[in-house]
Structure 1
Amino acid sequence: MAESEVISAPPVLSTPAEHIFEDPTPIAVEPAGQFPPRTDDELHAIYEIRRTAREIKEGGWSRIGLQFPDHMLRDAGWVVEALSRALAQENPPSTLKSLEGKGGTETNGPTESTPPRPENAQQPTNERIYILADTSYSACCVDEIAAEHADAQVVVHYGRACLSPTSRLPVIHVFTQQILDLDAAAAAFETQFPDPDAAKVVLMADITYQDHVEPLTSRLHSKGYRHVLRTVVVHNPAGVIPNRRLAAPVEDESSPKLDDDVDLTGYSLFHIAAPPPALLLALHSRFASLHVLPTTPTATTTSLPPRIEDPTAMTAALLRRRFARVLTLASAGVVGILVNTLSVANYLPTIDLLRRRIADAGKKSYTVVVGKLNPAKLANFAEIDGWVVVGCWESGLVEEDAGFYRPVITPFELEVALRPESERLWGLEWWGGIEKMEQLQLQDANQDANEEAKEDEGLEAEVDDGGVEGEESAPPEFDLRTGKLVSHSRPMRVVADGHTKKKTGSQSGGDADASVSARESSALVKTAAAGEVATINGVVSPGADFLRSRRTWQGLGTDFDGDERSTVVEEGRSGVARGYTVGEDGSRT
């Protein structure tokens, strides 16, 4: 390149800085960068180095992937070094055996006569540790895709976690312990609930503060709060309290476990640290009231007890906005199935179930995998009227203020949207993610036999006394948000010859198809001109019709006139970036 040719701006194909894709996973605690530097002992406790090394050795894994959220990446290098030393200490020198040709060692496990080695002792081990920094999807989910790129045998997940079951790899969860002033927390609790005898409270915390729940409950129990229950972490996102079970203030082997069917409507929830919005929506109707103890540095450094926050009004407003999105999807003709995970177990059967439900409602579905969500990606699919997210119970909730062009809802909300208007009731329960979709799959399996038995009866019911088909005599459908008439809410019921016919996800019998054709043979049909309507298997394709009629750009070369002469083809650059060869003269730039 000549010296006079200086690039003053990046090429147009570069990604602008304002379009950098950010992780949509909510962070319940403040980023670690706002805290002062920590000592090695504090980091050992926060990242649980000893427990992690012990579980890795017990599992016999040699290739380990460490997954960090963005705000913990500053400690990733230290964690790798500390974990390597801890793994070496799990291999006593007296039991090490050489592995010829493998470049590592194996161990028979520690013995009682072998003393532990000091921190600075460096011994060869056969473990390889990889840092998984940029997650493929939400940071709360285990990134099995990035782990498989490194051929990892186990993933150590640090920070907040949705605890959704994985489909392929084992996981070691390290929640990272955060500091909490128990005296200030107890004082804030007593201020909010001054009567110990009347207070019926369930004590819960963000998963990074979970180790403070038991000592705080014991302290309150000693002060006379006899009706305070605590929660214990379990791997059950579909539970009454996601990933939690109820426990007594002091629980031992002799004390019985509490029943999961405890009526929580008479209890208040006291939550340590700001919970994610999906958890607030799930618990809004299950507790009498919600109370959140903030844990930001500004809230914990003052001498006064932290001020308890009440998210009830905010959560109720969020529920109303979610129901407005459900009404928008109820009149949508094309629904996009947005795959936001490839790791959560049961995601493939969930996609099949959603496709079947959307097809049974007479709507068209498209399945899209885009990785981390942002408005720029979804705006490329302008023909889609709304999206349903297939992901974990936390990342499935997409806030409406994120700037998305079309509404994005959860599978539960889609179930409500696909119901008839007379049955579309917003009940007391809300949940996100795909963890409860297994229950719907079992319901569908039980209903298959009944649907086949009623198939003939349903076909006869499509014709009323006047000989008019059921779809033709259906009342007009309006968008309840805008009041406009909707004429494309069921594109999969419209066939190429102009008749109306339900296109279900299952295969119907030949006799049924013959009876429908016999009734529709006398209908008056306007034949469309060739190329006017794009069809697939006799059914109008909304995507193809949108591409034909409303897309302004339809691919490379479509913006040129067909009669326009092509420009002269010239030989371009070749070679590598450090020195290109231009044209036949071989000049280098």
Structure 2
Amino acid sequence: MSVAPVLSTPDTHVFEDPTPAIDPSLVRNFSDEQLYLTYEIKRTVDEIRHGKYKRIALQFPDHMLTHAPRVFEALQKELALQDKKQHVAENLDALSLDADQKRLCILGDTSYGACCVDEVAAEHVLADVVVHYGRTCLSPTQRLPVIYVFTFRPLHLDAVVASFQKTYPDKNHKVILMADIPYSEHVQPLQSALQEAGYNNLFPTSLLHNPSSLLPNRTVPAGVDADANVLREYSLFHISEPPTSLLLNLTSRVSSIDIYPTVSEGSEAPQTMSASTAQILRRRYALVTNLSTASVFGILINTLSVKNYMEALAHVQDLITRAGKKYYTFVVGKVNAAKVANFSEVDGWVIIGCWESSLIESKDFWKPIITPFELELALTDERHRIWTGEWNSDFQSLLGKKTVVRGEGTYDDDTEEQDADGVSADSDSESEAPVFDLRTGRYVSQSRPMARPSASASKKTAATSLIKRANGDLAQIGGEVSPAAEFLRNKRTWQGLGTDYEIAYDYDEDGKIKGAAMEEGRGGVARGYVVGDSERS
């Protein structure tokens, strides 16, 4: 895309939720018994009473909002019934029931992805706890406690066993059994059925609230904690198609991945398919290479709930600053192309969000969006940058990590006075190593606009007099280089009529400019111009 998109918000530009597709047949009318089982009404009420919560926020994804009123009424009924029993057992006056009455509210439109706990919306209603329904990324929250209700879905186990046997004919093959969170209760029954069929080298995963695990939010086989290479001996059989970010995390950690889809077209049983992420990884690496010479980054904070997001922001800011580049920080809700296209001076974006929704694969965005892990690769010095095919979406594992950024502390003139960061205040930009775009081979003149502050900036002196600036100087605000001001000066400043057109001349055989033929111009007034002998109105 060579120009920015139209700055409107049509449906086609709205950021797509990374949550996997939902089978429409699963969104159906439940009986009261099915509703109590699917939404775990009894367990939810017990946890609310155990935690002594008074204000409860119920967070539903969009496809479950049709069940929200019935779940609300069921919880309200069970809470009132149990409170009444407790008061009767304690011989308290019935009038005191109002003081202990629980207040429920429904959170429908989430601030960020449906997989994340919406603490922002919950705090608007002064909630003490959030009950999160549906699949989730299980990212640790910042402030509020959470009750997770995964709303487990049914699965035809015999069809899964038959598909597994067709995929792994060798019964001694090492296989990890894993499922998307709403199907996780089927992992243990699947292992039992496969063991009866003769499979002995199976490892059934269990849910674990730890996105930084080698198998995100899952337990790992014995010996993997001591040596991660043990995981490469296993193939992985995954029930339901995982999000792209999870797939990229798993690809470089296990031998192979086979997916049993739970959403199928037609009446035929789903067939297991092998997962391949080579094309996605090539595309992500191309983005990393492209942004290695970017001069201005935009940091998108796409969460206010995930634990340590402020530490991740400080880590990203430190990386960009040490690389001599400029950054601007933006707090956004759901990301779309129209929002980020308003800042055309930004060369690339870094998104800080939950580990599932941080991967944005869309061609609608004018400038690419990468993750903190990919930013580290982009800014790492070429002598230390090694692409192994590994991909990590969890920014928690990057905190406290020291990265050698490109060009940091490498200057030719060692005799000049340097500041505390090792940057010479009086040296000019020609002493720096030249930067080339690895994709096009072209020289990039302003890849590190913040690498060399001017002498006046380093001495903290403010100049108020007018000075003559050379054509190659960068725009400064308060003695600090401002790439945004430079962008506005070069790209959005009117230079005069006709300056956006190239002036071309005709040359004769001797290389001299040919004179233009003299012609009689227009004359008269705007009501009726006269061109030569003819009159035009």
TM over 0.5: yes
Q: 1:104 aligns with which of 73, 98, 104?
A: 98
The answer to whether 1:219 aligns with 2:173 is no
Letter in 2 for 1:309: M
Letter in 1 for 2:129: V
The answer to whether 1:131 aligns with 2:89 is no
CA distance in 1, matches of 2:316, 2:74: 45
Aligned CA distance change for structure 1 residues 340 and 433 (closer, same or farther; 3 Å):
farther
What is the TM-score of this pair, normalised by structure 1?
0.73
Q: Which residue of 2 aligns with 1:275?
A: 242
Q: 2:331 aligns with which of 369, 385, 390?
A: 369
The answer to whether 1:327 aligns with 2:281 is no
The count of aligned residue pairs is 467
The answer to whether 1:292 aligns with 2:259 is yes
Superposed displacement of residue 459, structure 1: 7.9
The structure whose RCO (Cα within 8 Å, separation 6+) is larger is: 2
Letter in 2 for 1:73: L
Superposed displacement of residue 494, structure 1: 3.9
For the residue of structure 2 that corresponds to 1:203, the secondary structure is strand
Q: Which residue of 1 aligns with 2:158?
A: 183
Q: 1:477 aligns with which of 412, 420, 435?
A: 435
CA distance in 1, matches of 2:109, 2:414: 57
CA distance in 1, matches of 2:453, 2:9: 47
Q: Is the 8 A contact 2:45 2:78 kept in 1?
A: yes
Superposed displacement of residue 476, structure 1: 2.8
Superposed displacement of residue 425, structure 1: 1.7
Letter in 2 for 1:69: P
CA distance in 2, matches of 1:435, 1:162: 14
Aligned CA distance change for structure 1 residues 470 and 316 (closer, same or farther; 3 Å):
farther
Letter in 1 for 2:149: V
Instruction: Report the aligned-residue RMSD.
Output: 3.2
Letter in 2 for 1:240: L
1:385-425, CA deviations, whole angstroms, 9 ceiling, x for partnerless residues?
Answer: 00111111111101033x11111001000001111223222
Superposed displacement of residue 270, structure 1: 0.2
Superposed displacement of residue 33, structure 1: 6.4
Q: Which residue of 2 aligns with 1:61?
A: 53
Shifted more, 422-431 versus 287-296: the winner is 422-431
Shifted more, 537-546 versus 222-231: the winner is 537-546
The answer to whether 1:240 aligns with 2:243 is no
Shifted more, 38-47 versus 471-480: the winner is 471-480
Q: Is the 8 A contact 1:462 1:470 kept in 2?
A: no
Q: 1:206 aligns with which of 180, 187, 191?
A: 180
Q: Which residue of 1 aligns with 2:10?
A: 18
Q: Which residue of 2 aligns with 1:43?
A: 35
Q: Is the 8 A contact 1:391 1:433 kept in 2?
A: no
Aligned CA distance change for structure 1 residues 322 and 462 (closer, same or farther; 3 Å):
farther
CA distance in 2, matches of 1:149, 1:225: 52
Q: Which residue of 1 aligns with 2:88?
A: 94
Q: Is the 8 A contact 1:21 1:372 kept in 2?
A: no
Q: Is the 8 A contact 2:299 2:328 kept in 1?
A: yes
Aligned CA distance change for structure 1 residues 533 and 154 (closer, same or farther; 3 Å):
same
Q: 2:371 aligns with which of 410, 419, 426?
A: 410
Superposed displacement of residue 32, structure 1: 4.6
1:220-279, CA deviations, whole angstroms, 9 ceiling, x for partnerless residues?
Answer: 1222111010111111111101111036xxxxxxxxx76534611111010000000001
CA distance in 2, matches of 1:186, 1:432: 31
For the residue of structure 2 that corresponds to 1:233, the secondary structure is coil
Q: Is the 8 A contact 1:293 1:306 kept in 2?
A: yes
Shift >6 Å, 4+ stretches: 454-459
Gaps of 5+ in 1: 1-14, 107-125, 248-256, 448-453, 504-512, 518-525, 554-589
Q: Which residue of 2 aligns with 1:587?
A: none
Gaps of 5+ in 2: 1-6, 418-423, 462-466, 495-537
Letter in 1 for 2:179: A
Superposed displacement of residue 193, structure 1: 0.6
1:45-69, CA deviations, whole angstroms, 9 ceiling, x for partnerless residues?
Answer: 1111111111111000010001111
Name the % identity.
46
Letter in 2 for 1:485: Y
CA distance in 2, matches of 1:407, 1:258: 39
Superposed displacement of residue 95, structure 1: 3.2
Superposed displacement of residue 488, structure 1: 1.6
For the residue of structure 2 that corresponds to 1:85, the secondary structure is helix
1:185-208, CA deviations, whole angstroms, 9 ceiling, x for partnerless residues?
Answer: 0111011011212x1100000011
The answer to whether 1:432 aligns with 2:393 is yes
Letter in 1 for 2:204: R
Q: Is the 8 A contact 1:98 1:104 kept in 2?
A: no
CA distance in 2, matches of 1:192, 1:455: 53
